[in-house]
Chains A and B, each alone.
Chain A
Amino acid sequence: MRAFTYQRAASPAEAAAAALKTPGAKFIAGGTNLLDLMKLEIETPPHLIDVNGLGLDKIEPTKGGGLRIGALVRNTDLAADAKVRKDYAVLSRALLAGASGQLRNKATTAGNLLQRTRCPYFYDTNQACNKRLPGSGCSAIGGISRQHAVVGASTACIATHPSDMAVAMRLLDAKVETVRPNGQTRVIPIADFHRLPGTTPHIETSLQPGEFITAVTLPKPIGGTHIYTKVRDRASYAFALVSVAAVIQTDGTGRIALGGVAHKPWRVEAAEKELPRGAKAVSAKLFANAVPTPENRFKLTLAERTLAAALLEAKG
C-alpha cells in the first residue's frame, strides 16, 4: 500500500473541499472496497478523508412520504430497518443477498453505490484495463469473460457493476443527494448516477471532482410484491451472475431491474410494459441490444429464466 495522509472531516462541505484540494484524494467510510484496492495498489490515493464522524447515519422520513437514508448508514442497519423491511422489502432483500455479515457491518450506503467492479482484469495490474489505466486496452475482451456484461458494454470495457443494493435503488427510483466543494447541493436521479462505459470506463458515475454523497432518498412506497432473486456460483457470499429485482402489482404491472449483466443496474422502462406478456417478452426488450461474448451468452437464457422465476414467485 502506498503511503497517504489522513484527516477526519468535520462537515460534508469540508470533506468535499478537502477532496478537491488534494487531487486523487478519496473519502473513506467503511473502507471494505477501497482498502482492498489500496493493498493491491489499484487505488493509490495520496490523502484519505475519513467521513465516519459526520452524523450521516440516520434513516428519516421525508416530507414526500419517502425515506432519507444517510450516506453512512451501514448495509446491516439499512437492511434491518423496520420501515425498509415493510415498505421497500426489495432493498432489504438485495442488501442481504450481498457480501458477508462482516462486510455489511462496515459497508455504507454511499460506499456501496461507489464500489468498483470485480472484473479480474481490473484487479490484475499485469493486465490491460481501460478502467484502471485509461488507454491500456481491455484484456477481458477475448479473455475469460463468463462473469462480464452482456448489454450496454463497449469496445473499451465489458465490466459489470457488482452491487446488489444499487439494483434495488434503481428499481425504486432513488435519488442521490450530494454537496459540492463550493458548498452547493444537488440531487442526482439514480438512473443518471451510474454511467455506461463508452470510451471512458474509468469515469463510473456522474459525480464531479470532490462531490460528496450525503444521502440517498427513496420516494413514497409503491406497494406490490417485492422480490430479489440472485443467481450465483455458490449459495451465499458471491457476486451475481444474474440478479432480478422486481416489484409486481396485483394487476400484473410492475418494475424490473437486473444486476450482473451491465456496467450499471440494468432497467429498461419500455421492457416493463411487456410484463403482462411474461418473462420472454420482457427479456426480449431488456436485451434487444445485447452483445454477449461466447462465454457469457448463457446469461441471456439465465436472465430470462430468473425473471420467470421471480414473476412466478410474485404470483404467490
Chain B
Amino acid sequence: MDDASDPDFNRRDVLVGTTASFALTGGGTAAAQPIAVSAPVVSKVAFRVNGKDQVLDLDLRTTLLDALREHLNLTGTKKGCDHGQCGACTVIVDGRRINACLSLAVMHEGDEITTIEGLGTPTDLHPMQAAFVKHDGYQCGYCTPGQICSAVAVLDEIKAGIPSHVTRDLTGTVELSPAEIRERMSGNICRCGAYSNIIDAIEDVAGVA
C-alpha cells in the first residue's frame, strides 16, 4: 500500500507502459496517418483547497478533478464517468456543488474548493460522513465522496430556499422533505444501489428521518 501514497507511481503507470510496448510492436495505421496535435499550453492557477492555498502549473486541458487527484493527490474525489453523468466527482466550490470533471482547473482562479477530505477526517467525521457510516449508505464506496459532498450542499440549497422539480408552491418557502432530498440527489448515481440507505443517512442529518 506504500505505492498509494506516492503520486509518482501507481498502477496506471504500469498499464500505460504495457500499452505503449504493444503499440511499438504492433506498428499499423496510426503511425501511417499521424494526427496533427498542437503542443499543450501550460498556465498557472491559484486556488484554495480545503483551507490551503495551492498554486499549480497545469496543462490548460486539466480538469478541476484531475488537478485535485493527479496534482494535489486528493484522491478522495472520484472519477466515474468523466462526463458529468454520475456525480462521483462532486465537490463544493464557493459553497456550491459542481461536477469537477466538467470544469477546467484554470477557470477556478481564486476559488474556494472543498473536497471530501476537507469535510472531515477519520478521527473527526463531518456529521454527514458519520451518518453514512451509521446507515451503511454505500456498498463499494466509490460514489460515496460525491454523494456526501452533494448531500451537504443539498441541505444548504434547501435552507437557502432554492426550489426543485418537486417543490409544489414556487412562491412559498421550500420545505425540507424526503421527496425534496431524493429529487436533488438525482445527479449522484450509485451503481451498487445503496440509495435507500443513502437517503436514510441524509434524512438523519436533516432531521426529517
Contacts and interface: CB of A to CB of B under 8 A. Distances in A.
Contacts of A76: 96, 162
Given A3-B60, A31-B102, A103 B38 contact: no
Contacts of B104: 28, 31, 35
A96 B90 CA distance: 19
B61 A4 contact: yes
A5 B41 CA distance: 6
Contacts of A58: none
Contacts of A48: 60
Interface in B142-201: 150, 153-154, 157, 161-165, 167, 170-171, 182-184, 186-188
Nearest to B43: A6
Contacts of B153: 101
Contacts, number: 105
Interface stretch (B7-15, B79-87, B118-126, B127-135): B79-87
B163 to A, nearest CB: 6
Contact of B37 (A3, A35, A36, A80): A3
Contact of B163 (A4, A35, A96): A96
Interface residues on B, range: 35 or more
A32 B84 contact: yes
Contacts of A89: 170
Contact of A46 (B38, B43, B61, B99): B38
Contacts of A184: none
Which among A1, A76, A105 has the highest number of chain B CB atoms within 10 Å? A105
Contact of A2 (B38, B43, B103, B183): B38
A79 B102 contact: no
Contacts of B167: 96
Nearest to B95: A105
A97 interface: yes
Interface of A: 1-6, 28, 31-32, 35-36, 39, 46, 48, 50, 52, 76, 79-80, 85-86, 89, 92-93, 96-97, 99-103, 105-106, 235-237
Given A4-B41, A32-B99, A101-B157, 11 more contacts: A2-B37, A3-B39, A3-B61, A4-B61, A6-B41, A6-B43, A31-B107, A99-B187, A101-B187, A102-B187, A103-B84
